[in-house]
Amino acid sequence: MKPTMMIVMAIILAAATATGAAEQAPPIPAEEQPEVLTQGPVNEAFAQPVNLEDQTGLVAPTEPPAAIAEVPPPERPAGDQFAWVPGYWAWDSDRNGYIWVSGCWRAVPPGMSWVPGYWSQSPDGWQWVAGFWAPADNREIDYLPPPPELADVEPPGPAPSPDRIWVPPCWYWYHGQYSRRPGYWLAAQPDWVWVPSHYVWTPRGYVFANGHWDYTLGRRGVLFAPVYFPRHIYARPGFSYTLSIAVDIGNLQFGLFTRPQYSHYYFGDYYDSAYISLGIFPWFEVERRHTWYDPIYVHDRWRHHKDDPRWAQHERQEYSRRRADRNRRPPKTYREMEHRVSRMTGSQRRNFEIAAPMKQIVSRKTTFKFQQSQPEARQQISKHSDDVHQFVKERSRWESQGAGRQSGQAAVKPMPSGGRSEKVPPVKRKGPEVRPPERTESPPVQRARRLDAPGSVRDEATTSSRQQQLPTVTLRKGQPYQSDSVKIRTPPVAGGQDGGFFRKRPPSRPDEEQNDRKRQ
């Protein structure tokens, strides 16, 4: 063979070897890729516990990264009531860093709009300020002084009938003072969850969140799984992430937890004792710790009272079994879930398949229909997400500018009969072990007071007379107890006028809550 031909053959052989080596290159290490999680916080717009005490937000030691550009899959729930809620960063104590709480398709509660939460810089780090649902026609937010501590939040006794659920008391801000609306028994509704009135802490003051009817958990939409991103991935310019794995709502309740300080539900493997010390409790603990209220748990307990009277006991037993046996616990990542279920039978797999590809979710029979989004509609989702993130920045700006206006003010105890008001230190945040004081009134007295609740007031004259029978917080003359209002634009997350697949209208507001918005 000629030397020239030998050189050519050597070059060809080298090129072929290089090509083969490139084709056989090892995969990118899993640690360098986004990790879909099957545990973590539930997007707060999808579901939230209700705090009954002063719970200032969780504090993280470092600033969260910039928001990630999400691309939802083309399949989406059909109906104008579904709105896209973008994701946000959440502090993860296991990783000692941030994870991404993915966006969700949310059936917006009728007549409401979503005011998203955000991270606010504080002297101790970055503090979470919770989001909340507000009336859709609301164009102003009132910031109030700290409401007094609530007592007698647990039911006074057994329900008067099987179809009644307990709604805890609440303080209302009325004519410069707080007036207490007692708790009451509410007629439960099969397809609707009542979220009671409560307060949300912000750097500017406390926001009154109106009570409202919400959809049951299975009718709320599509919840996408949280994701862990290595820093070098999300730090790339123009980075975006396509969502594809959704949480199985049917399995969500088998491992549902509550973190009241963070105003979040959690799902997945939080069975170790260490999570209790972090303030992450199994959701049934609401029956023993009365510092928060769980509208979803209360509704599910009522819903199962006929088919499974021992449902609450079974929930506790399953928690104990999973706590004692790690093999019973759900997987922490989607990769781990796929590996474990591949070795299981069909009946076993169902309890561990916490999440699934969106196409698989669509193929199942659900309470709502799906449709394909057109390219133009998906582009609008991107613009909508940008608008939501801009609204979050605006909220952070106006609340930080008014920060401290209500701080340092003293709370005032309700006046005893025939006595004077008593000034006490501001309400402090209590730990999860704090129990409410013993009930000082008998149930008959409470029932009598419920009949005179502020919610049943029809005009100002009767309001004045009835309030004399209710606990109130009287403000001394000259004290700087004034509400602080901010005019806002329409929040970008709101449902459409057409109910779509859910054409059944929600029940009317309870009589005890009819005029709560007028009292604010």
Nearest to 55 by CA among 277, 264, 296, 288: 264
Residue position matching structure tokens 């013993």: 438
By DSSP bridging, strand 192-195 and strand 212-215 are: antiparallel
Q: Are 311 and 304 in contact (CB under 8 A)?
A: yes
- Cα(57)–Cα(132) distance, rounded to whole angstroms? 13
Sign of CA dihedral 253, 259, 262, 263: positive
With 50 as the cut, is the pLDDT of residue 436 above it? Answer: no
CA atoms within 13 A on the CB side of 360: 10
Q: What single-letter amino acid sits at 274?
A: A
Tell me how far CA of residue 83 lies from CA of 214, 222, 385, 482, 487, in angstroms: 14, 10, 11, 35, 23
Q: Where are the domains of the chain?
A: 31-403+483-519
Q: 55 versus 34: which is more confidently predicted? A: 34
Q: H helices within 218-333, ranges in order? A: 231-234, 249-252, 273-277, 295-303, 311-324
pLDDT in tens, 317-373: 999 999 999 999 999 999 999 999 888 877 777 778 899 999 999 998 778 899 999
Q: 430 versus 399: which is more confidently predicted? A: 399
- Cα(400)–Cα(275) distance, rounded to whole angstroms? 31
pLDDT > 70: percent of the chain: 76
- Cα(255)–Cα(228) distance, rounded to whole angstroms? 20
Q: Are 75 and 148 in contact (CB under 8 A)?
A: no
By DSSP bridging, strand 69-71 and strand 240-242 are: parallel
Return the number of other C-beta atoms located less than 10 Å from residue 162's C-beta: 11
- Cα(58)–Cα(496) distance, rounded to whole angstroms? 33
pLDDT of 93: 92
pLDDT in tens, 130-152: 999 999 998 999 999 999 999 88
- Cα(208)–Cα(226) distance, rounded to whole angstroms? 29
Q: 417 versus 333: which is more confidently predicted? A: 333
In this structure, what token pair is assigned to residue 506? 């929600």
pLDDT in tens, 451-501: 233 332 222 222 333 333 444 454 444 444 567 899 999 999 998 755 444
> Under DSSP, is residue 337 helix (H, G, I), strand (E, B) or coil?
helix
Rounded to the nearest 5°, which phi and psi values hold at 7? -65, -40
Q: What single-letter amino acid sits at 60?
A: A
- Cα(191)–Cα(252) distance, rounded to whole angstroms? 18
pLDDT of 206: 95
For residue 333, give the DSSP letter.
B
- Cα(296)–Cα(194) distance, rounded to whole angstroms? 9
pTM above 0.95, yes or no: no
Give strand ranges (E) for 408-483.
411-413, 422-424, 472-473
Nearest to 366 by CA among 37, 75, 133, 83: 75
**H or E stretch at 114:** strand 112-115
By DSSP bridging, strand 355-357 and strand 281-282 are: unpaired
